[in-house]
Amino acid sequence: MFIPAGSTRWRKRQRYNAMNKVFLSGRITSDISRFGTDSKGGVSFSLVTSKPVIKDGQVQKDENGYTETYDEFHQIKAFNGLGKSVANHKKKGDKLMIVGELRYSRNERDGRTYYNTDIVAEDIEFL
């Protein structure tokens, strides 16, 4: 569908072109910790995603014949009912698929500045 560049509809469409979406599938690697109150709280946990190491077009194997993987660890936060559902039904080692957005934060402790990157979950599917 063609939308003329000067139209109001075009400007509204342009506003939504910037997107902050993350799609992850992996395993829970830490115990799920709750924070806040039951009605306004959430949960926090880490998730690992893995992909095989490929060199010269070949998947690399270790000395035991297992596929070598490159692992990334992500900090996940889920709020309200979504967080409560994860805390009640999942544990360390379980697989999840997460759709969320990146959030960056900074805090100071003991005179040092710490930077964090979290993924705030919008949807979680139990695998």
Among 125, 127, 42, residue whose Cα is nearest residue 76: 42
- Residues 49-77: what's their mean pLDDT? 91
Structural domains present in the chain: 24-126 (2.40.50.140)
- Residues 47-59: what's their mean pLDDT? 92
Question: Which alpha helices (H) appear in 50-108, and where do they start and end?
Answer: 80-89
Is the pLDDT reported for residue 94 higher than 90? yes
**5-19: pLDDT as tens digits:** 555 555 555 555 668
Query: Which of 25-29, 71-75, 84-88, 118-122 shows the lowest per-residue confidence on average (mean pLDDT)?
Result: 84-88
User: Which has the higher per-residue pLDDT, 104 or 13?
Assistant: 104
List of residues 6+ apart from 24 with CB closer than 8 A: 47, 49, 74, 97, 98, 100, 119
**34-46: pLDDT as tens digits:** 888 766 789 999 9
pTM above 0.95, yes or no: no
Residue with tokens 């946990």, as numbered in its chain: 45
pLDDT at 11: 55
Rounded CA separation 122/73 (Å) = 19
Is the pLDDT reported for residue 25 higher than 50? yes
pLDDT at 1: 47
Output the average pLDDT for the chain. Answer: 86
